[in-house]
Structure 1
Amino acid sequence: MPELRCQSLAPARFIASHGWVLQQEAITCTAVLSAQTKRLKLINAIHTGFWHPAMIAKVGATIDVYSKGRFAINILTGWFKDDFRAFGEPWLEHDERYRCSEEFIQVLKGLWTQDRFAFKGDF
Protein backbone atom coordinates (compact mmCIF):
# COMPACT_ATOMS: atom_id res chain seq x y z
CA MET A 1 0.00 0.00 0.00
CA PRO A 2 1.41 3.46 -0.91
CA GLU A 3 2.39 5.79 1.89
CA LEU A 4 -0.36 8.25 2.82
CA ARG A 5 0.82 11.80 2.17
CA CYS A 6 -1.35 14.56 3.63
CA GLN A 7 -0.83 18.27 3.11
CA SER A 8 -0.76 21.17 5.52
CA LEU A 9 -1.14 24.75 4.26
CA ALA A 10 0.07 27.35 6.75
CA PRO A 11 -1.94 30.48 5.88
CA ALA A 12 -0.32 33.90 6.00
CA ARG A 13 -2.56 36.52 7.50
CA PHE A 14 -1.29 39.30 9.69
CA ILE A 15 -4.47 41.13 10.60
CA ALA A 16 -7.10 38.90 12.19
CA SER A 17 -10.12 38.22 10.03
CA HIS A 18 -12.62 35.42 9.64
CA GLY A 19 -12.38 34.79 13.40
CA TRP A 20 -8.69 33.82 13.20
CA VAL A 21 -7.56 36.00 16.10
CA LEU A 22 -5.03 33.43 17.32
CA GLN A 23 -3.45 32.62 13.96
CA GLN A 24 0.30 32.07 14.23
CA GLU A 25 3.05 33.16 11.85
CA ALA A 26 3.15 30.70 8.93
CA ILE A 27 6.88 30.13 8.40
CA THR A 28 7.49 29.37 12.07
CA CYS A 29 4.53 26.97 12.13
CA THR A 30 5.88 25.17 9.06
CA ALA A 31 9.32 24.81 10.68
CA VAL A 32 7.76 23.38 13.84
CA LEU A 33 5.62 20.95 11.84
CA SER A 34 8.70 19.80 9.89
CA ALA A 35 10.24 18.62 13.16
CA GLN A 36 7.04 17.04 14.47
CA THR A 37 5.88 15.13 11.39
CA LYS A 38 7.33 12.62 8.96
CA ARG A 39 4.90 12.37 6.01
CA LEU A 40 3.07 15.69 5.94
CA LYS A 41 3.66 17.87 2.85
CA LEU A 42 4.35 21.34 4.28
CA ILE A 43 2.99 24.20 2.19
CA ASN A 44 3.82 27.70 3.37
CA ALA A 45 1.82 30.71 2.15
CA ILE A 46 4.07 33.71 1.44
CA HIS A 47 2.90 37.26 0.73
CA THR A 48 5.51 38.67 -1.63
CA GLY A 49 5.01 42.22 -0.38
CA PHE A 50 6.19 41.40 3.15
CA TRP A 51 9.30 39.29 2.57
CA HIS A 52 12.57 39.62 0.73
CA PRO A 53 12.84 36.69 -1.70
CA ALA A 54 16.42 35.89 -0.64
CA MET A 55 15.24 35.42 2.96
CA ILE A 56 12.42 33.11 1.87
CA ALA A 57 14.81 31.17 -0.37
CA LYS A 58 17.14 30.56 2.58
CA VAL A 59 14.39 29.76 5.10
CA GLY A 60 12.59 27.52 2.60
CA ALA A 61 15.77 25.65 1.69
CA THR A 62 16.54 25.13 5.38
CA ILE A 63 13.07 23.77 6.16
CA ASP A 64 13.27 21.59 3.05
CA VAL A 65 16.53 20.01 4.27
CA TYR A 66 15.23 19.30 7.77
CA SER A 67 11.87 18.02 6.47
CA LYS A 68 13.61 15.80 3.90
CA GLY A 69 12.05 17.49 0.87
CA ARG A 70 8.53 18.11 2.17
CA PHE A 71 8.56 21.93 1.92
CA ALA A 72 6.54 23.85 -0.68
CA ILE A 73 5.51 27.48 -1.16
CA ASN A 74 2.17 29.03 -2.05
CA ILE A 75 2.94 32.51 -3.44
CA LEU A 76 0.33 35.16 -2.61
CA THR A 77 0.01 38.64 -4.05
CA GLY A 78 -2.19 39.80 -1.19
CA TRP A 79 -5.67 41.23 -1.40
CA PHE A 80 -6.25 42.48 2.16
CA LYS A 81 -5.13 46.10 2.13
CA ASP A 82 -5.09 46.30 5.95
CA ASP A 83 -2.26 43.73 6.08
CA PHE A 84 -0.09 46.03 3.95
CA ARG A 85 -1.06 49.12 5.92
CA ALA A 86 -0.21 47.40 9.22
CA PHE A 87 3.35 46.82 8.01
CA GLY A 88 3.71 50.25 6.41
CA GLU A 89 4.08 48.61 3.01
CA PRO A 90 2.77 50.32 -0.12
CA TRP A 91 -0.46 49.03 -1.56
CA LEU A 92 0.05 48.04 -5.18
CA GLU A 93 -2.80 47.67 -7.61
CA HIS A 94 -3.70 44.18 -8.85
CA ASP A 95 -1.46 44.01 -11.92
CA GLU A 96 1.52 45.49 -10.06
CA ARG A 97 1.15 42.93 -7.24
CA TYR A 98 1.30 40.15 -9.86
CA ARG A 99 4.38 41.70 -11.49
CA CYS A 100 6.01 41.87 -8.06
CA SER A 101 5.17 38.20 -7.46
CA GLU A 102 6.60 37.21 -10.85
CA GLU A 103 9.91 38.84 -9.93
CA PHE A 104 9.81 37.20 -6.50
CA ILE A 105 9.42 33.77 -8.11
CA GLN A 106 12.25 34.48 -10.58
CA VAL A 107 14.55 35.29 -7.66
CA LEU A 108 13.52 32.16 -5.72
CA LYS A 109 14.13 29.94 -8.75
CA GLY A 110 17.46 31.60 -9.50
CA LEU A 111 18.72 31.24 -5.94
CA TRP A 112 17.56 27.62 -5.72
CA THR A 113 18.95 26.48 -9.09
CA GLN A 114 22.10 28.52 -9.82
CA ASP A 115 25.44 28.64 -8.05
CA ARG A 116 25.77 32.37 -8.74
CA PHE A 117 22.71 34.51 -9.27
CA ALA A 118 22.05 38.21 -9.74
CA PHE A 119 18.76 39.96 -10.39
CA LYS A 120 17.69 43.51 -11.12
CA GLY A 121 13.97 44.15 -11.25
CA ASP A 122 11.39 46.81 -10.53
CA PHE A 123 10.57 45.55 -7.04
Structure 2
Amino acid sequence: MTIPADRLVEMMDRRPGLARAALEEALLRVEQTRQTIRRLSADNPQQRVAAVLMLLADKFGTEQDGAVVLAPSLTRVEMAASTGLSAETVSRVMSLLRDDGIIGTGRHWTSVLDKSRLAGIAEG
Protein backbone atom coordinates (compact mmCIF):
# COMPACT_ATOMS: atom_id res chain seq x y z
CA MET A 1 0.00 0.00 0.00
CA THR A 2 1.31 3.43 -0.84
CA ILE A 3 0.12 6.87 0.14
CA PRO A 4 1.08 9.92 -1.93
CA ALA A 5 3.31 12.29 0.06
CA ASP A 6 0.89 15.22 -0.12
CA ARG A 7 -1.95 13.03 1.19
CA LEU A 8 0.25 11.75 4.03
CA VAL A 9 1.17 15.30 5.07
CA GLU A 10 -2.50 16.24 5.03
CA MET A 11 -3.36 13.24 7.23
CA MET A 12 -0.56 14.10 9.66
CA ASP A 13 -1.77 17.69 9.89
CA ARG A 14 -5.20 16.44 10.93
CA ARG A 15 -3.98 13.64 13.21
CA PRO A 16 -1.02 14.58 15.42
CA GLY A 17 -0.94 11.03 16.82
CA LEU A 18 -0.22 9.71 13.34
CA ALA A 19 2.59 12.23 12.89
CA ARG A 20 4.08 11.21 16.23
CA ALA A 21 3.84 7.49 15.39
CA ALA A 22 5.50 8.07 12.02
CA LEU A 23 8.30 10.05 13.67
CA GLU A 24 8.83 7.35 16.31
CA GLU A 25 9.02 4.67 13.59
CA ALA A 26 11.52 6.74 11.60
CA LEU A 27 13.67 7.27 14.70
CA LEU A 28 13.56 3.55 15.49
CA ARG A 29 14.75 2.72 11.99
CA VAL A 30 17.57 5.27 12.21
CA GLU A 31 18.70 3.71 15.51
CA GLN A 32 18.53 0.19 14.06
CA THR A 33 20.60 1.33 11.08
CA ARG A 34 23.14 2.96 13.40
CA GLN A 35 23.45 -0.26 15.41
CA THR A 36 23.83 -2.32 12.23
CA ILE A 37 26.61 -0.06 10.95
CA ARG A 38 28.40 -0.26 14.30
CA ARG A 39 28.00 -4.03 14.44
CA LEU A 40 29.32 -4.51 10.91
CA SER A 41 32.31 -2.27 11.48
CA ALA A 42 33.35 -3.19 15.02
CA ASP A 43 31.94 -6.53 16.16
CA ASN A 44 33.60 -9.89 15.69
CA PRO A 45 31.76 -12.68 13.80
CA GLN A 46 30.43 -14.34 16.96
CA GLN A 47 28.97 -11.03 18.18
CA ARG A 48 27.34 -10.38 14.80
CA VAL A 49 25.69 -13.80 14.61
CA ALA A 50 24.59 -13.60 18.26
CA ALA A 51 23.05 -10.16 17.68
CA VAL A 52 21.01 -11.40 14.72
CA LEU A 53 19.86 -14.45 16.68
CA MET A 54 18.82 -12.20 19.59
CA LEU A 55 16.89 -9.93 17.23
CA LEU A 56 15.07 -12.92 15.73
CA ALA A 57 14.37 -14.36 19.18
CA ASP A 58 12.93 -11.07 20.42
CA LYS A 59 10.84 -10.37 17.31
CA PHE A 60 9.74 -13.79 16.13
CA GLY A 61 10.68 -16.32 18.80
CA THR A 62 8.18 -18.50 20.63
CA GLU A 63 8.78 -20.06 24.05
CA GLN A 64 8.81 -23.82 23.93
CA ASP A 65 10.09 -26.11 26.70
CA GLY A 66 12.42 -23.47 28.15
CA ALA A 67 13.91 -22.54 24.77
CA VAL A 68 13.05 -19.84 22.25
CA VAL A 69 12.26 -21.35 18.87
CA LEU A 70 13.03 -19.00 16.00
CA ALA A 71 10.37 -18.81 13.36
CA PRO A 72 11.28 -18.14 10.69
CA SER A 73 14.75 -19.61 10.96
CA LEU A 74 17.26 -18.00 8.62
CA THR A 75 19.39 -20.10 6.31
CA ARG A 76 23.15 -19.77 6.63
CA VAL A 77 23.19 -17.71 3.41
CA GLU A 78 20.50 -15.35 4.77
CA MET A 79 22.36 -15.09 8.06
CA ALA A 80 25.57 -14.33 6.17
CA ALA A 81 23.85 -11.56 4.23
CA SER A 82 22.47 -10.00 7.41
CA THR A 83 25.82 -10.11 9.24
CA GLY A 84 28.25 -9.23 6.45
CA LEU A 85 29.98 -12.60 6.86
CA SER A 86 30.48 -15.58 4.60
CA ALA A 87 28.14 -18.56 4.91
CA GLU A 88 31.12 -20.66 6.00
CA THR A 89 31.93 -18.26 8.85
CA VAL A 90 28.30 -18.24 9.94
CA SER A 91 28.30 -22.06 9.95
CA ARG A 92 31.44 -22.15 12.10
CA VAL A 93 30.01 -19.64 14.59
CA MET A 94 26.66 -21.45 14.73
CA SER A 95 28.51 -24.73 15.38
CA LEU A 96 30.47 -23.13 18.24
CA LEU A 97 27.28 -21.72 19.76
CA ARG A 98 25.60 -25.11 19.42
CA ASP A 99 28.59 -26.95 20.94
CA ASP A 100 28.53 -24.51 23.88
CA GLY A 101 24.84 -25.29 24.49
CA ILE A 102 23.71 -21.75 23.69
CA ILE A 103 21.62 -22.64 20.64
CA GLY A 104 20.11 -25.75 19.13
CA THR A 105 19.97 -26.31 15.40
CA GLY A 106 18.54 -28.80 12.99
CA ARG A 107 17.25 -29.02 9.48
CA HIS A 108 15.18 -25.85 8.99
CA TRP A 109 15.07 -24.85 12.66
CA THR A 110 17.07 -22.94 15.25
CA SER A 111 16.33 -22.45 18.92
CA VAL A 112 17.96 -20.32 21.58
CA LEU A 113 18.66 -22.50 24.61
CA ASP A 114 20.47 -19.91 26.77
CA LYS A 115 19.26 -16.43 25.93
CA SER A 116 21.29 -14.67 28.65
CA ARG A 117 24.58 -16.16 27.41
CA LEU A 118 23.65 -15.31 23.82
CA ALA A 119 22.87 -11.72 24.87
CA GLY A 120 26.24 -11.50 26.61
CA ILE A 121 28.02 -12.58 23.44
CA ALA A 122 26.01 -10.13 21.31
CA GLU A 123 26.90 -7.25 23.61
CA GLY A 124 30.58 -8.19 23.65
The normalised TM-score by structure 2 is 0.28
Relative to total residues, which structure has the larger helix share, 1 or 2? 2
Which entry has the higher C-alpha Rg, 1 or 2? Answer: 2
